[in-house]
Amino acid sequence: MGYINHGSMSAIGIIFPVLAALSLAVRMYGWRHHSPIFEIDDILVVPAGLLTIAAGVALVIGTQMHIISEHSEAASTDADSAKLGKFEYAFWMGHVLAIGFIKLTILFLLRRVFKGRIHRTAFDYSNWTLIILVTLWTLVFLFFDIFACGTTPQASWESWNSLRKNCIDTFAMQTGGAVFSWVLDLAIFVEPLVMIRTLNMNRKRKIQTSLVFLCSGFAVVAGLLRMIPWIQLHVQDITHPTLRILATTFPISDQQGIISIVLFWTYMEIGVGFIVSCVPRIAWVLDKISLDPIISKIRSFPSNASLLKERYAHRRVDESEQSQSPWITMVRTKTSSGHRSDEDVELATAKNHI
């Protein structure tokens, strides 16, 4: 399967949940210390983050249970196929909600920055249009994922024939959802870049702000890489013995391999999209945090070290003097008092005897 294996699937299932948790922690710090009120995007980011973490955990568990990230073998049983189908059924519902909340988080964040203060602007109309379209996309494709097989969802995982006969064309459904999602990603990517020029800030700040919002380009690329496999699956003849997806050829019977590569790029879009939705707020929080105390401590470290070294040297000298002070005091006392020592008395007595 090439790059889709136990290691890569487990890696993205661990890395993105960790990054999502860290992003939420930074935003929580910003809420507590720098933000006076909650905005709508601050609320929407919570379910988006939880769904991103849950999807990553599901990938890791599915990999460890050998449900995904492998190839279907000739000896695969109906039970193995059912496990894969149930996993896929639950994941597609979760991915629609995750992507929907992520897009809405970004759109409401853009409203905070660019919305008109006195009267409605072109941005207000375009932004509300995108919010409505994303909401409709989420509700419609969530409904399709749940009721693709009518009131008998088990038909989607009982067998391949059952899926084709009792359910709608799921390949066409997922392809349509991926294409529409990517078009929305592209619109969300362009919207802030057009509006930044209207902000009342100097050129340097405009460039910095543009760089922050350019990060959403990664979400556009991730969405494109999720869309391509679905289009390839939809246009190819499923009666052919092999399918080619992203330069990788799979036997038509290798359901696990085909689904794994689609799951991989789907979660890549979710993980990258969530991180992108948090970048502007994280940049804002970091900009509010003053680094002067840390820099001053780093700069004062050499002087503190030299001061400690001098104190240590003085302490060694003092200890040396204290260790010799009883003998020095004795000698000084004897010399200053004018009395001779016992050795001097004995020497004088010997001279008298001579």
pTM of the predicted model as reported, rounded to 2 decimal places = 0.78
Distances (CA, A) of 340 to 191, 331, 335: 102, 11, 8
Neighbour count for residue 27 (Cβ, 10 Å): 21
Distance, CA of 224 to CA of 213 (rounded, Å): 18
pLDDT on residue 314? 61
Specify the residue for token string 């809420």: 31
Q: What is the CA radius of gyration of the chain?
A: 36
pLDDT digits (tens), the chain, 354 positions: 578 889 999 999 999 999 999 999 988 887 777 666 778 998 999 999 999 999 999 999 999 998 998 877 655 667 888 888 899 999 999 999 999 999 999 999 888 888 766 678 888 899 999 999 999 999 999 999 999 988 888 888 877 777 778 888 888 899 999 999 999 999 999 988 888 877 777 777 777 777 778 888 898 999 999 999 999 988 887 777 888 888 888 888 888 888 999 999 999 999 999 999 988 888 777 766 655 555 565 666 565 556 666 665 666 555 555 555 444 444 444 444 444 444 444 444 444 444
242 pairs with which residues across the strands?
Answer: 251
Neighbour count for residue 67 (Cβ, 10 Å): 21
C-beta pairs of 75-84 under 8 Å, 24+ apart in sequence: 76/256, 78/158, 78/159, 80/256, 81/157, 81/159, 81/160, 81/255, 82/157, 82/158, 84/157, 84/255, 84/256, 84/259
pLDDT on residue 343? 45
pLDDT on residue 337? 46
pLDDT on residue 224? 93
Distance, CA of 193 to CA of 250 (rounded, Å): 40
